[in-house]
Amino acid sequence: MTRLTRADLDALPAYVAGRTVPGAIKLASNEVPYGPLPGVVDAVAASITGAHRYPDPGATALRAALSDRLGVDPDRIATGCGSVALTEHLFRTTCLPGDEAIYAWRSFEAYPIIAATSGATSVRVPNTSTHGHDLPAMAAAVTDKTRLVIVCNPNNPTGTSNRKAELDAFLDAVPPTVLVALDEAYREFVTDPDVPDGLATYGDRPNVVVLRTLSKAWGLAGLRVGYLVGSPEVAAAVRKVVTPFSTSATAQAAALAALQASDEMQRRVDLITAERERVVSAVRKVYPDVPDTQSNFFWLPLGDAATDFAAKCEESGVIVRAFAGDGVRVTISSPGENDAFLDCI
Ligand code: PMP
């Protein structure tokens, strides 16, 4: 058969999304269980009447609202179709074929796929024995070909976080010619004061960008809105690379409404972080090796038993996310859904 697609894609694993099974409890995709925030459904309905028009490509109102919330100029912000799309844009903004991108492993499964399709060479730095990023090793992996380093804080799927002293030393060690992306998709769930807000703490460093999303704490996973904050130069370059109109009018309207419901967002996050305490301490009675988590999920380092464990949970109507041969990631949800998981173990 005539080959019409790139041969190297054959070896590339497809992105595996958490499965949705009708009637089952889904603890597989780090979503929040509470439905859209107040005002979102009305905003979406209102925006649909303009669906025959293209959206504002610059997401001006959304960037202004983010600018107010974050205390940074709108010219430092780029929005995209989820922060996963912005991660892809970041590769296209920084890496030419053959350039190196460093990230920890295990981390967010989209990184190797995006790196491979962008032509960058992945440099994976193994996590420590306690499942967190080994930042000194990541800094030591920088070569003169490195263009991008991604630090996922908290890390998906292990939930671990890097603290301020480690991040300070890491950022001081990385040359200013290398862009460091702090992927803070789960930032809103961090309660440990030693885990720094990357934007507030490092946002003034020209070679740092922060990636965040409205998919998690803000409850908009289905509408696909993420944002990046960086220097005006880097943010402008990313805005050039973004697929035109990729943040839809409906997504922009929903995000604006969600941002206005920040008190309710915080109340929901507080419920989840309280449940996190309860669930993780119950789980540790059976599996003491669960690493500390600052996100809305936790990691069960089950090694070869991971796939069987997830299958057994599914038989009991609870979908969790297995990473074959490594571990299982479980989302913290409402008390009833969490209890269903605790019943499984
Ligand atoms: N970064 C991390 C670490 C994630 O876990 C996710 C979602 N799974 C994303 C980025 C992307 O989120 P979204 O594209 O929904 O904004």
Per-residue pLDDT reduced to its tens digit, 215-252: 999 999 999 999 999 999 999 999 999 999 999 999 99
Per-residue pLDDT reduced to its tens digit, 98-108: 999 999 999 99
Q: How far, in Å, are 13, 32, 113, 291, 337 from residue 9 at the CA level? A: 8, 33, 9, 34, 38
pLDDT above 90: residue 12: no
Within the chain, all domains assigned CATH 3.90.1150.10 are found at 7-36+262-344
Check if the beta carbon of residue 80 is closer than 8 Å to that of residue 226: yes
Per-residue pLDDT reduced to its tens digit, 117-154: 999 999 999 999 999 999 999 999 999 999 999 999 99
DSSP string, 171-220: HHHS-TTSEEEEE-TTGGG---TTS--HHHHHTTSTTEEEEEESSSTT--
Per-residue pLDDT reduced to its tens digit, 299-313: 999 999 999 999 999
Check if the beta carbon of residue 31 is closer than 8 Å to that of residue 37: no
Residue 343: name the closest of 322, 316, 309 by CA.
316
Structure tokens at 270: 């507080």
Q: What is the mean pLDDT of residues 314-340?
A: 97
Position 2, amino acid: T
What is residue 78's predicted lDDT score, i.e. its pLDDT?
Answer: 98
| Confidence band of 72 (pLDDT split at 50, 70, 90) | very high
Residue 258: name the closest of 210, 216, 295, 229 by CA.
216
Q: Which residues surround ligand 1 with Cβ inside 6 Å?
A: 30, 82-84, 108, 152, 156, 183, 185, 213, 215, 221, 226
214-217-223 Cα angle (round to 5): 35
Mutate which of 215, 247, 248 to test ligand 1's pocket (most atoms within 8 Å of Cβ)? 215
pLDDT above 80: residue 19: no
What is residue 16's predicted lDDT score, i.e. its pLDDT?
Answer: 81
89 CA to centre of ligand 1 in angstroms = 14
**Predicted complex ipTM:** 0.99
261 CA to centre of ligand 1 in angstroms = 21
302: left (phi over 0), alpha (psi -120 to 50) or beta: alpha
Check if the beta carbon of residue 252 is closer than 8 Å to that of residue 55: yes
**Ligand 1 atom 11 nearest Cα:** 84
Per-residue pLDDT reduced to its tens digit, 41-51: 999 999 999 99
216 CA to centre of ligand 1 in angstroms = 8
What is residue 18's predicted lDDT score, i.e. its pLDDT?
Answer: 79
Give the residue carrying structure tokens 């990636």. Answer: 211
Residue 90: name the closest of 192, 2, 210, 194 by CA.
210
- Is the pTM higher than 0.95? The answer reads yes
Mutate which of 32, 216, 294, 299 to test ligand 1's pocket (most atoms within 8 Å of Cβ)? 216
Pairing of β 226-229 and β 297-300: unpaired
155: left (phi over 0), alpha (psi -120 to 50) or beta: beta
Mutate which of 105, 156, 214, 225 to test ligand 1's pocket (most atoms within 8 Å of Cβ)? 156
Within the chain, all domains assigned CATH 3.40.640.10 are found at 40-260
Structure tokens at 136: 């000194």
More confident residue, 233 or 20: 233
**Per CATH, which fold does 40-260 belong to?**
Aspartate Aminotransferase; domain 2 (3.40.640)
| Architecture category of domain 7-36+262-344 in CATH | Alpha-Beta Complex (3.90)
pLDDT above 80: residue 73: yes
